[in-house]
Structure formats: structure tokens, C-alpha cells
Structure 1
Amino acid sequence: MKYRETTSIAALAVALCVCAQPAFAQSAGTMVAGGAEAAAASDDDVGESIIVTGTRTTGMKAADSPAPIQLMDSEALARTGQPDLIQSLAQSLPSIQAQSFGGDMQAMNLQMKLRGLSPNHTLVLINGKRRHGTANISIAGGPYGGSAAPDMSFIPTAAIDHIEVLQDGAAAQYGTDAIAGVINIILKDSEYGGSIVGTAGQYFDGGGDTYSISGNVGFAPIEDSYFNVTVQKKKKGFSFRGDVDPRVFGDNSVAAANLSKYPDAVNQAHYPYVNRILGDPYVNQTSVMYNAGYRFGDFELYSFGSYGHKYARAYENYRTPGIITDSDGVPFYPTGFSPLEAVRETDWSVTGGFKGMIGELGFDVASTYGHDLVGVYVENSGNSSLYRDTGFTPTEFHNGDFKASQWTNTLDLTLPVDIGLSSPLNLAGGIEWRRDTYGITDGDPASYYGSGAQSFFGYAPANAGNHRRTNFSQYLDVSFNPNPDWLVDGAVRHEHYSDFGDTTVFKLTSRYDITPTFAIRGTASTGFRAPTPGEGFYSGISVGPNSVGGVLPANSAAAASLGFGGLKPEKSTNFSAGVVFTPTSRLSFTLDGYWIKIRDRILITGSFYGFNGQYCPEGYTGSNAASCIPYNADAYNIYNQQAVYDAVSSALGGTIPSYVLIDATGVDRNLSGTVRIQTFANGADMTTRGIDFTAKYDMPTGIGDINWSLTANYNENKVDSIAGLPSALYTSTVDPTATALIDKFAVWTLEKSTPKVRATLGMYWESSMFSLNLRESYYSKVSSLSTAPGGSPLAGQSIPIPVKASFITDIEVGFKPTEALKISVGANNLFNHYPTKTSYENFRAAYEASGSSRFASSVYPTVSPFGINGGYYYARVGVKF
């Protein structure tokens, strides 16, 4: 390990020395020129590349961009070794962080965040048109909570010509969602040739076996047309990074009791590593994408679209044999069982449009429809209540469906107007009408009968529903040069929502080239993000044998009875300023600082209790009173709120099952019973500030250019204030933070789970037959916050769980015996580096001694920005024709 760290530190030191000389940049495909960072497929200066993101001016070059924008081409994406687009972007661009692990349904649809903000704050475009979001909304807390951003796993990298990443607030230009920036994916439009690429790999320590095969072909059905289509098939196997399960293994009373009563538990697959929740899910996915057009004169008819199907399943916590038994106590699964949450998802989108020039007036009219259907299933499970009551239980359940759609219609116009300046004033304007829908379909009755399907309670009819919203917007953008060296761009956008009314947002951007090699630039803008229909209407109330809980729809009458009153839009203010320095055609630097203020940020709340049986009322004299937590008026009021009880009861149709409240005698308080809820709310005001730095140097050598790059990001998220509790909810008089709308654990995650410093040093060299791609990435410390369990030396205290600062090395070596064939081998995380383990002394020892399942699942902190699986090694073969 010392050798590993020394090597990494030395590599970074060499990089800084080279930069100071000066001499830098092109990462594993990321080049910088005059303010645009790009991965160029040709030898042309990337500054000559034409961009379409962040500007409405036709023909603007990357070198002249007034805002920081990064470009990556298909070759650079391929060199990351990842068949998944999010992972490819995160490995190359320090301002992007990919979610490395997700629990429950989050595992099926990992997301990414830009500048540490929510995935919902980054707008994803395909060929400049809005991409629809996923129906699988995340109900977890933290920076990924509430995310319903597009599932980019359905976009095959082989279909992509290049990607433009605008790192700047752009709500006034493109509409809501663009608070952190814009990712514009430009598809291939070649009308001839193609490629076939096959990739296979796995983790160094086992699991995650992956293969992907994709084919891309372009042809011209008729003269002056193009049709480019890509097909990708990819599979990824389970990985496991947990530990033994002390409920059925080890020297503790829980294991001894379980093994004495259920000796067949030792025959469970993978024993004693039976709790396999900590690891990657299995994914089997097929995606098809096309891009087509017909050009005639100054006009073009075009269409593009995609279709994808995903079958994925993830392990949930192992259940011991006694969880499902008949009326005589005989277990349904003699060895216990590991439920699997699964999805069968179908995602598709189609765009049709017509664009061209009428004189000097440019126009583009288009319509896009996207739809996502997520079928939710539980496999290898059972319903304990159903089995006990009837002697029968299914082992597979259809828990319900999530569905979402988006229909967007746009008209964009551009017109250059000569007003006597050094170049024409560019006018751009347009209108957009959009309809968003979201719905939940209830599942099989067996999935929500009684205690429900083990690991994932089904969606009952009370959770089902269909919801819609429409939006109409207009924008105007004016760009002009007061003199040849000064660019000014201003935009204003007005939007009307059917459920929120009106808003108007602005943006002002400017760049001044002080000399041919040095420029300054800056932006100021306001933003607005309406809550997604999923955030407003997701409903997930489940009823177990001892509990009622879940998520109340934010826009429901039950939530309103608690004083929430539905969701408001988020509003933002964004400032940035930077410099561009290009001393030579081979060397360039950019430095941009930013400050983003988000008000009324939408977050999922902490839990509020209407009943908790352990907290007995004062003077309680039931037969189990001795087992109650000693009476404390403040604690009792926190955990037994009548307003919460009434709201949950209302959501269930007026009644909470008596067995949740009363024990088996039918008389005494059920000490194990709970009634609790969460909901989405405008929970906090936040400030994000940071710096983006890029440097590039194309170093000529006798064996070909070596393209160096250094990209770095400093990012700090701060929760400025937390919204107050509605008056209907109890506020602690002893410790108000104990009843805060957003608890301290969520606040900690929002502030501490994104690396403050992320840097990537890249080197790419290619000759006629060989190539070498090398990346060295640095991640500063991140952490989560957790309460130390009973039995720990710090029991009851809130303790940070850190992931220490780390260097990660990626490498790929390529061999190209002919122009048509290239063979590559590589590694992500070459030295098999893992995140810091969770403290055994403060957490895991107590879990082990008490026979807790958390011992198996707490080996590594899942907030790790570089994952929990260690090194990934792969080989790729590409054929072009």
C-alpha cells in the first residue's frame, strides 16, 4: 500500500511540475482549447469544433465559448473501459460524480450529479432536445434523493458522436432542470461505414462479470439522406463485498439460537456469507438507438429515437428460516432465503423535426415523446401472513408498476441582424409546450396482503394513481459583439405551469478577449425547477405485522393535514467568473469559479411518528409496562403524534390495523408497533461554490504527440437553513434538532458525500499501431454520519464514517494491427484500491456481538466516490468497416 501511495503522489507531483513549465493537457480524451475542453477524434485543433450547447449563435467555435463547456468524443468514451455512459463521464470529468451504490430500487437506476447537486439539477439533451426522465424515482435521502433524471444507461456509447457538457446554469436558455448545467449528447449521423465493439471484464476480487457487444452502422436509404443505427447488448453479474452473517454464524447468542432451532441454515447457498446485499445488481439490458435525416436544399427532415429493455435484480437482506412459517412453526424455507428485488423496464423515445433556413431566418420545429415503464417484482421471497393464514404463498410477486412520460413540442428561431457592429446581432427565440405524466399501478394482492412480500411491500390500490402537468414557455436570446473582442449574450425565459403558475428567469453572459491569448468570462443567472410529478405524487404506504410506514404523497390531502400543503418550485441564483489563457496552439488553461444558491430545495423529510409502542404513556400499567422505555414527556410526544396518526390513518382509508397497536393478547400495547411517515418537502436552502480548472498540452515527440491534461474541481455544498416544521407537528422543547424537518444525517450527507477536491491527470499517446491511455485521479475525503450501536464504546453517539482521500489509477493499452481492427486491454482502479473500511471498534464489533445483519452489509461506506468493488479489468475488440 505504501508503494501504491508513493507512486500516485509522485505521478501528481510530476504533473504539477510539467504544468508549471508550462506544459499540459489532454486527458484520456479530454482536450482543452480556448475555454472548451474536448476529446477530438481528429488532428484538428479542438478549438475549431463547432458547439451547439450554451449558445444560440449558429457556428460558434469551442475556442470562443463564453461559458465553460467540455467535449468528449466517442473514442474518449470508449477508452474509459465502461459500457455505461454515466461511469464513462464520471471517470473523465471531475465535476461529475457517479452514484456507486444504491439500496432497494435505487440499485436498478444509478444516477450522476454535477457539482454535487441533485441529478434533477442537470438537464440531459439528445441532439439538443430534452430527454425524458425515469419513472423510478429515488425515495432515499441525501444528494441522490428524489432523483428522477433520465436513465442514461439506455443510451449506447457507440451511438454517440460526441458529448457537450455545459458547466453553467442555463435555465433561461433551456428551461428547468439546468441549474447545475447541461449534458447534450450528439448522435452519429454518418451515412456510411460502421463498427462492431465487444468488451468483457470483471472485478479483480471476483464478481461483476460484464460483457457488452455493440454494433453501429450508417447508410443512405435514398440520396441526400442518412440513417445511423446502433444496437447494444450488455450483461453485468452480481458482485459481493460483504461479510459473514452473525445471525447464523459465529460465537453469539443469536446465531446459537437460530442454528439450534434451524440447523438446515448452514445449507443456505454461500453460507456463511448469506447476506449478499452489499454489491452490484445483476443487469441484462438491450438498447437500440437511431438517428436519421433527409436533406434537401436548405432544409432537413430528421428523426431520432431509442428503445431499451432492462431486466435487473438486486439481493436484499437474508431472511432466517423463522421469518415464514406455517401455523405449526414449520419454515417455508428451511435454510432461510435471500429475496431479490427485480425490475423489468421498458424505455423508449422518438423525436421528429423539420429545420432549415428561409433567407437568413433559421428555424427548427420538433416534437419528442418519451415513455418509461418500470415493472417492480420480488423474487425468491414469500408473504408470511398469507402463508400463515392459508398455507400458501407465491415465491414471486408483481409489486406494481411505475410509469412516466414526457411530450415536448418546440419551435426555435434564429436571425442575424446587422446593426452596424463588427458582426451581426444574433436574435434567437422560441416556444415550448410540454406535458409530463407520472403514475403508479397497484401490484398483485398477494404482494400487499398482511405483512406483504418480504423485502418489498407491494403497492396497494391506495398508492395507485395517474397524474399530469403541462407547461408552456417562451424565451428570447440576444447575442452581439460591441467590438470584435467582446461578446455579450442575454437570455430571458417565461414559463407557465398548470399547477404552479408563472415564473420568469434571466441569464447574462459575457466574454472579453483582452489579448489573442487571454480572455475573461462570466455569467449571472436565475433559475427555477418545478418538482417532478414523481416528487409530488409518489405514494408508498405499506402495512406490516407490526408497522405502518412509508412515503405520503407531498400533494395529498393527508400531507396537507400535517401542514405541508404541496411542493413549491425551487429557485436559484448562479454566478460564475473565469479566465481563458492560450499561450500557444498546443497549450491552454481555463479557470472558472462559481457560486450557486438554491432556495426551497426539495428533499425527503426525516420520519415522523404517530405511534411507537416502546414509548409508553405516563402511568401505563399494562402487563408489559416493565419493558417500556422509561417515560419522558418530550420523547413520548416525538414518537406518538396524533396528527401523524390521523394522517396515516386517512391515507389508509380511515383505519390502522389494530395488531400494529395492540399485542397478541389483544389488550396490551404492542411494544414492537410503529406508525411513521415521510414525505417530500421544500426542506432547505443551500449554497454551492467551487472552482473548475483545466489545462492541456500537446507535447510533440519523435514517436507522435503525447496529449497531457489536468482537470480539477473544488466543490463545497453548504446547507444554509432548514425549513421549519409545520405547526401540526411536534417540535421538541429539549432538542429541536431531534424533530427537524431534515435530520442531521441527511444534512451531513448533503454536505460531506461529494469530494471537495477531485483532480484527474491524463496522458494519451498513439502511434500507427500502439496507444497508451493513462489517468490518475485524486478524490478527497468524504463521509457519512451514523449512530453507533448499543455495545459500542460510543453507543448512541453520532459518528462520521469516512472514506479517506485516495488516488485511483486507470490504464488502457491498445494495439491496432490494421486500420480496421483495434485490440485494447485495460484496468479501472489498476491497483485494486478499496475505500476505508467502516470502523470495527465503533460499529462492526457491536453488530457482530449482537448478531445483527448490519455486520454483513457495513464493510465499506457506500458513499465512496470510486465505488466499493475494487479494481475492474477488461479487454475490448473493435472492428471498423
Structure 2
Amino acid sequence: MQYRRSLLATTGVLALALVAGTARAETGETPTPATGTATPGADPQIIVTGTRTTGTRAADSSAPIQIVGQSAFQNVGQQDLRQVLAQSLPSLNFQSFGGDAANLTLTAALRGISPNDTLVLINGKRRHFTANLAVLGGSPYSGSATTDLSFVPTSSIGHVEVLQDGAAAQYGSDAIAGVVNIILKNADHGGSLSVTGGQYYNGDGKTFEAALNTGFKLGDRGFANVTAEYRFHDYSRRGTYDHRYFNTDGSLKSSASARDAAGVLNNSSTPYVNTISGDSHYSLFNVALNAGYALTDGIDAYAFGSYGNRVASSNENYRPASRVVGTDATGVTIVPFPTGFTPRIGLREQDFSLTAGLKGDLAGWKWDASGTYGRDAAALYTLDSANAAAWLPIQKATTGAVAPQRNFYDGTLTNSEWSVDLDVTRDFDIGLAKPLTFAFGGQYRYDSYGIKAGEPASTYAGGAASYAGFSDTDAGVNGRKAYAAYIDVAADPVAGLHVDLAGRFEHYSDFGDEWTGKVNARYDFSPAFALRGTVSNGFRAPTLAEEYYSSTNVSPNSTYAQLPPNSRAVAALGFGALKPEKSTNFSVGFVAHPTHAIQLTVDAYQIRIRDRIVASGALVGYSKGWGTDGIVSQAIYDTILARGIQSGENLSYLGINIFANGADTRTRGIEATLTTSTRFSASDHVDWSLGFNYNQTTIQRTYGLPAAVYNAAFNQTTLLSPNAIDALTSATPKVKVIGNALITHNNLSLNLRGTIYGRTSQHISLDGTGTGDLINRTPTAFIADVDLGWKVTRAVRLDVGANNVFNRKASTVANVSDGAGGVTPADGSNVYARPISNTPWGINGGYYYARATFLF
């Protein structure tokens, strides 16, 4: 029924759009783009992404490209670029929740493929990656170590160009699914100040955002545009009671020990003692600069960059009073946490990027030479926790209670990228319908990834509860060099036909050479109809984080070691080092203008990825109760013990996770957009848009396990468990539809947006492998957003609105028998009614906000 209502709502929007478009066409007026205007004095429909031909409009592109402009930013409640793009683009989905440190750095992905397969550019230059790798298997976003969009302040952005097409031959590694090119504001005068406050309907997740943008002249030949932004977001909590101590009705379980029962009953948060399911807490400060100066009539200097500082923390599972218990020198029992404790993972992160360059025109040759340096450093901490093994001998040697150490420095992750680029373009008039555009260039890049060990107490005997620090065996700095050269030719052999050919060669010091090529073409049969298509191949180099990240993931009943693929330990188990993914892309579509007021685009695509880098399922070495001694794989078990991890009676599972070239996949889909506008007068109009995306990923081949890891009786036979397979194929929606109507009447505006998310599903099990018939299912959902704006004066605007206005809640994890007369969450987690973490619209429900914007 919900699906039918959603489909009816969207169909209604489409019907109204077509009617409005027809009425609009009769007036002969030019439609207003639904995405708004980017930079004053600039046409945001002129694109610089996916083409090296100057002056190309988005509507004339030979590849599918969408523009997200200022009105899209204005009408989204949470001013995070990840949220803005997800609520504007049907082909993009965002991560709503992450496990452990991944909850501190959330990402987004195009076309249902890994976030790592989308390249992010700033003003056409490659943006560096985050150092904080998402490592927990079973998530569609596992392994993501791409650009952190939160460090790009939205008030610095003029518009965003999203190329939904493979573009490795044009831009290099990572552009398998597409390219996000963020174009910064370049105004040399005026500015804006905006202040936003909001929270979830539940009363938590309080948010405050303030942003200042201003532009000024540099003499009479240059400009500087500067942005400062501050954002704060508080914790949210979802789910109900901790199954270890409570029944589903909130009553205390009789199986709880007296000490633990007293602890949870006297805890200040009882009965909701476990707060792991929810948003992290963070404060984020960003500054950004975009500047240019005309040195001569033929040479311009430019520079742009940003600095960001984030302090964040995320709640972990509650630990009971019995978790840390000891005796003093006289034999007296010491319980330092009589009501238990909730550890937190903390993050202090600094992100920096700077690009500087010169560009000019020499005898018709347009050239651009630049250098870019970017670095992200993430220091991780375990807070409000304790290391029982480190505390016990100290307590035992002392008379009276000794307070355990509560906060631990776990180490620092760093990722840096240095690149030098040269791009040269010239148009030649050789008698074709339009001048031929010839372009060539090259790039040198050096990437570095490092892990700095934490303090000794963070790793001793498995580390503090919830998150172990990085040990000396994890630590290290690894780097690589990459060289690239490309050539690009664009021509219009006859009127209406545009052809673009690109080729690129790249050499990486860690795995060798890669050749990529692309051909795309467009033929305009008339001003009302054009066909376009693309054939290309691409690749994605494994990130250094995927190759060398090493850590230990701890829960109350399990420990999994994340092993670096390029390590001796992994080689000893029989796995190989990572190699690049390789893709083949096809697309075909059309652009239609049935009237002057309507634009319709439809593009079908196929992306085949070979040697896809995936996060393995949970590869188990020890499972409590299995066989005679619990050993599933002696090799894995020995590897874990060699890392200093102790088995212990309280642990049910010990295992490893790795990244590997583990599958060949095929993604097929179709994207469509419809835009139109209805103008009743200069101050009364409606801008309509409808976007549709369907994609389905199927696995063509999966890779088996080495003999030392293989265990048929335990059903450990392939690298990808059912849960991990679903992460690639069904854990993100196959269908996403966005309908938008921006209604303007004099000084009032009303933006109505409805989004349909298709259903998702993923196998789950208590041991994390997903083996069995239990499936988390999220049904098709319709999410409505509304924003009401009032221009009080030309310089003052007020907005109030809500995302997920009808407060659609996430589906929750089912319960199964715990074998002792009670029930437990079926995915091995600890909280009843925990929302399914990959819910595509988020786990928190409705969010409302108010914003004031001042122009000057």
C-alpha cells in the first residue's frame, strides 16, 4: 500500500510537470533551471566536466551530467555536501550509519557501486582522500577511503557538476562510476551569512550551523572568495533495551548476575543503557579560499584550498559492572564502575588542501599548469573506557581502590597526496562543422599513507574495551608514485554530430601500467531530439589504505583482526596482494526537448568490474561451541594469537577481515531526468524536476578461499559470505526517484520534494557471516521534504522546513531465540529494535530546522 501511494504521488508530480510544461510552452518563455544559479555573472549550465571543449552546456553534453546549484543547497536542512547531493541526485546514495570509527566519517556512492569508484574534483583538480578507512565487512560502504565531502563547506560552492559516466581515460583512476566536480564561488564582492538550527523529531541530534562567505577584489585584476563555516551535531539514540540484561518489555532478565543487575538498574540511563545505535557527536570548523589574479593579459594565477578541523566521538556498546573487577593488596574486591560504562571512539582530525597554478593562452594554445597538495590526519582515541588487564596488577599491588585509566590514545592515521598537472588545449579550424579541439597533458602524483602506533595501554592484552589501539606491528608509512599522460580529440565532422575520443596511460610504482580509452558521441537530429552514447574502459588503483590498513575490531563477544592485504601474514594464509580493479563501461541514451519548456534525458548503462576490491566476510578462526575445541581455521587462529590477541572465555568469535580482489560484478541501470518550468508572471512561477535511477548489480564470479582458511563443515568456503554478497547486490536500493517542485510567489517560496527509495535486503546471522535464512528487509518507502522560504527584504531570507516530514522510521532488526528462553537481535548486535543500519534515508526519522540568511 505504501509503495502504491508513493508511486501515485510521483506520477502526480510527473503529470503536473507535463501539464505545466505545456502551458509554459505556450507562453514562449525560457525555463528557469531548477538547480538555481551558481556564481554571480556565470552561467551554471556551462560545464567544464567530461569535456575539454569550451562553452559546452549541460543540455548539449554527449555524456549524462547533472548540475546541483544554489537552490538545492538552500532547500536542504542539513548543510553537509553529502546530504545535499543525496537529496538532489537519484543516482547517489549516502551512508547513514557506520560501525566503530566508520561512524565518524560517512560517505556517498554513485550508481550503487563503492564510493571509491567515484572521483571527486575541486575546480577540476583531484581532491585527496580521507585517512579514516571504513573497515567493517557487510556494509555497502565498507572499504571506502575516498574524499570526505564534509570538509568542503557548502557556502563556498557555486555549483556541482556530476558526470554519471565512466571517465578514467579523461581523469585517471577512480572515475569508474562517475565524477563529482565541485565548482567554487568566484564572486569578487558581496557575500552571505547563514545560521541554521535543527534537531530530529525525537528531540535529539541537535544541530547548529553557521557559515560566512564573502568576496573582494585583489587590486583591479584579481579576486578572492573566502568562506568560514562551523557545524555542530549532537548524539542521537535509536533502539530500545540491551538484550543481555533486559527482556523486550524492559523488565530485567533473571539471568543477569547480581552485580550486573544492580549496575544497569542504578545506571543514570536505565533502561536505555546501550546507546551505540545513533549519530556521532561532532564539531567541525572549515575555511576555504578561491582566488585568482591576472598577471598579464595572457597569464592568470590562481589558488584555492581549504582547512578543516573536526572533533567527534561515537558511542560504543555498554559494558557491565563485571567487566572490570579486581582485588586490592588485602583481598578486598574493587568494582570501579558499579553502574557499568559506555566507551566512546574519539576523533581529532585535520584536513588540508591547497592548489596553486598558472594558466594562459599562448598563440592559441590554452595551457594550465598546477600543483596540489592534500593531507588528512585522523587521531583516534578510546574514551570513557578501561583496560582491565592493564589495571588489574596495579590494583592488586595497592591497598584501596585505584582508578583505572579511562582515556587512551589509539594512534593516528594519515593520508597525503601531492600532484603536478599540465593540461594543454587548442582549437583547429580544419573545415569541419565546428573547430576540432585537441588536448593533451600529464600528471605526476605521490601518495602516502601512514599509521602511527598508539600508547602502550591502548594495545596491551587486546587494548581498552571497545576499540584497540594501533600496535607497533600495525604502524608504518607506505607510499607510491604515479605518472600519467593523456590525449583527447573532440570534433564535429558534420553538423549535429559530435565525437570525443580520449586515451590515457598511467604507471604506478606498486603494480605497473594501465591503459584506458573512451569514445563518446552525440547526434542532434533536430533541436528537439539527440542520441548519445559512450564506450570506455577504466580502472581503479587500490587505495593505500586498502593495501596497508591494519587494526583490531573488538565487541563484547568477538574480536576480528583487520589484516593488510600486502602483508606477510595475509600471504602466509594464501591470499595475494591487491591489484587494480578494471572496468568496461557502456551507455546509450537520448536528450529530448518536446517543447521549449521541457527537457527529458534517458540514459541506459552497463558497468562491468573485474577484480573488484571487496571487504571479505567474517573469516572465522574460532567459534565458541564449534567442534571439540572451537577451532574453525587453525591458521587464522594462530595469526590472531600472534598479534597478541587473547581468546578468553568471554569471546564467542575470533577471526579476520581483509580486503581482496574478490569478485567480478556487472551493474546495469537506467537514469532519467525531466525538468520544466511554469511562469505565470515575473514573480510567480514553479520549477519542476523529476529524476529516476534504476540499477542492479549481479556477481559474475566470486573468488574461493585458500586451503588454510577453507572449512566446508563450517560453511566457510568463499571469500564473500552471504552478508558480504548482499552488500554488493541488494543492500542499497535498486530504485530511487526524486520529484521536486519549487513554487515561488513574490517573496515566498515553497520547495516540495518527494523521494522513493526501493527496497533493500541483506542476510544476517549471530556470527556476522550472514549464513542462513535470516534477512534484514527494508521495504519501499516514500520520504517527503518541505522548505518554506520568505525573503523579508532583498538582503534577508528566513527558511523553515523538515526532512522526512512524515517521520518515516527505519525498519528494525528482528529477534531470534537465544537458546535460554529469551530472544536476541538476529544480527548479533545487543540492542532490541535497533534500526537497520543501511536504511537509505537514514535511521533517525524526521528532522526539522530553521535558517536565517543575510546577503551583503
Interval containing the TM-score (normalised by the shorter chain): over 0.9
Conserved? CA contact 1:788–1:842, under 8 Å: no
1:236 & 1:472 partners in 2: Cα distance? 41
2:13 & 2:6 partners in 1: Cα distance? 11
Conserved? CA contact 1:247–1:258, under 8 Å: no
Q: 1:548 to 1:513 in 2, by over 3 A?
A: closer
1:506-532 Cα deviation digits (max 9, x unpaired): 000000001111000000000011100
Q: 1:846 to 1:51 in 2, by over 3 A?
A: farther
Deviation, 1:672, is: 5.1
Mean CA deviation greater in 847-856 or 517-526: 847-856
Matches within 5 A, 1:471-490: 471-490=482-501
Conserved? CA contact 1:756–1:780, under 8 Å: yes
Question: 1:409: which partner in 2?
Answer: 420
Matches within 5 A, 1:306-455: 306-327=306-327, 329-391=333-395, 393-455=404-466
Question: 2:749: which partner in 1?
Answer: 771
Q: 1:304 to 1:849 in 2, by over 3 A?
A: closer
Question: 1:29: which partner in 2?
Answer: none
* Cα RMSD (Å): 2.9
Question: 2:578: which partner in 1?
Answer: 567
For 2:613, what is the secondary structure of its paired residue? Answer: strand
Question: 2:738: which partner in 1?
Answer: 760
Mean CA deviation greater in 549-558 or 365-374: 549-558
Deviation, 1:258, is: 3.1
Conserved? CA contact 1:559–1:647, under 8 Å: no
- Whichever residue aligns with residue 565 of structure 1, its letter is G
Deviation, 1:120, is: 0.3
For 1:584, what is the secondary structure of its paired residue? Answer: coil
- Whichever residue aligns with residue 349 of structure 1, its letter is S
Question: 1:834: which partner in 2?
Answer: 809
Question: 1:625: which partner in 2?
Answer: none
Conserved? CA contact 2:39–2:187, under 8 Å: no
Question: 2:633: which partner in 1?
Answer: 640
Matches within 5 A, 1:133-532: 133-141=129-137, 142-250=139-247, 254=253, 257-259=256-258, 263-295=262-294, 296-327=296-327, 329-391=333-395, 393-532=404-543
Deviation, 1:449, is: 1.1
- Whichever residue aligns with residue 451 of structure 1, its letter is G
Q: 1:202 to 1:546 in 2, by over 3 A?
A: closer
Q: 1:45 to 1:695 in 2, by over 3 A?
A: farther
For 2:468, what is the secondary structure of its paired residue? Answer: coil
2:819 & 2:209 partners in 1: Cα distance? 37
Deviation, 1:50, is: 1.3
Deviation, 1:671, is: 9.2
Q: 1:546 to 1:437 in 2, by over 3 A?
A: same
Question: 1:15: which partner in 2?
Answer: 13
2:111 to 110, 115, 120: 115
Specify every segment of 5 or more residues in structure 1 that has no aligned partner in the other structure, as ranges.
27-31, 618-627, 630-635, 664-669
Question: 2:656: which partner in 1?
Answer: 677
Mean CA deviation greater in 423-432 or 559-568: 559-568
Mean CA deviation greater in 115-124 or 542-551: 542-551
- Whichever residue aligns with residue 12 of structure 2, its letter is V
Deviation, 1:646, is: 4.8
- Whichever residue aligns with residue 696 of structure 1, its letter is T
Mean CA deviation greater in 677-686 or 796-805: 796-805
1:867 & 1:691 partners in 2: Cα distance? 24
2:522 & 2:93 partners in 1: Cα distance? 29
Q: 1:246 to 1:649 in 2, by over 3 A?
A: closer
Deviation, 1:224, is: 1.1
2:561 to 537, 550, 561: 550
Conserved? CA contact 1:323–1:331, under 8 Å: no
Task: Give the aligned length.
Answer: 834
Question: 2:846: which partner in 1?
Answer: 871
2:765 & 2:44 partners in 1: Cα distance? 54
For 2:684, what is the secondary structure of its paired residue? Answer: coil
2:485 & 2:612 partners in 1: Cα distance? 24
Q: 1:453 to 1:647 in 2, by over 3 A?
A: closer
- Whichever residue aligns with residue 276 of structure 2, its letter is I
- Whichever residue aligns with residue 11 of structure 1, its letter is A
Q: 1:107 to 1:807 in 2, by over 3 A?
A: same
Mean CA deviation greater in 71-80 or 207-216: 71-80
- Whichever residue aligns with residue 191 of structure 1, its letter is D
1:799 to 757, 761, 774: 774
State percent identity of aligned pairs: 41
1:845-866 Cα deviation digits (max 9, x unpaired): 9864799993525422111100
1:75-124 Cα deviation digits (max 9, x unpaired): 32121122111011101111000101111011000000100000100000
2:819 & 2:744 partners in 1: Cα distance? 48
Q: 1:55 to 1:261 in 2, by over 3 A?
A: closer
Matches within 5 A, 1:89-104: 89-104=85-100
Matches within 5 A, 1:832-871: 832-840=807-815, 848=823, 854-856=829-831, 858-871=833-846
Conserved? CA contact 1:247–1:853, under 8 Å: no
2:685 to 675, 691, 705: 705
Deviation, 1:585, is: 2.3
Conserved? CA contact 2:116–2:144, under 8 Å: yes
Conserved? CA contact 1:125–1:183, under 8 Å: yes
Deviation, 1:705, is: 1.8
1:543-583 Cα deviation digits (max 9, x unpaired): 99997640111001111112212101100000000000012
1:317 & 1:177 partners in 2: Cα distance? 35
Matches within 5 A, 1:621-636: none
Q: 1:697 to 1:728 in 2, by over 3 A?
A: same
For 1:424, what is the secondary structure of its paired residue? Answer: strand
- Whichever residue aligns with residue 504 of structure 1, its letter is W
Mean CA deviation greater in 172-181 or 449-458: 449-458
Q: 1:207 to 1:800 in 2, by over 3 A?
A: same
Conserved? CA contact 2:169–2:538, under 8 Å: yes
1:785 & 1:316 partners in 2: Cα distance? 23
Q: 1:6 to 1:459 in 2, by over 3 A?
A: same
Q: 1:546 to 1:76 in 2, by over 3 A?
A: closer
1:57 & 1:411 partners in 2: Cα distance? 17
Conserved? CA contact 2:345–2:382, under 8 Å: yes
Conserved? CA contact 1:121–1:180, under 8 Å: yes
Conserved? CA contact 2:673–2:690, under 8 Å: yes
1:740 to 709, 718, 721: 718
Normalising to structure 1: TM-score of the pair? 0.90
Conserved? CA contact 1:37–1:71, under 8 Å: no
Q: 1:37 to 1:603 in 2, by over 3 A?
A: farther
1:683-739 Cα deviation digits (max 9, x unpaired): 10111110001011111225522111111101111112111223443352x58x532
Conserved? CA contact 1:712–1:759, under 8 Å: yes
Conserved? CA contact 1:90–1:96, under 8 Å: yes
- Whichever residue aligns with residue 281 of structure 1, its letter is S
Deviation, 1:796, is: 8.0
Question: 1:606: which partner in 2?
Answer: 617
- Whichever residue aligns with residue 604 of structure 2, its letter is G
2:198 & 2:555 partners in 1: Cα distance? 42
Deviation, 1:143, is: 2.1
2:790 to 811, 815, 828: 815
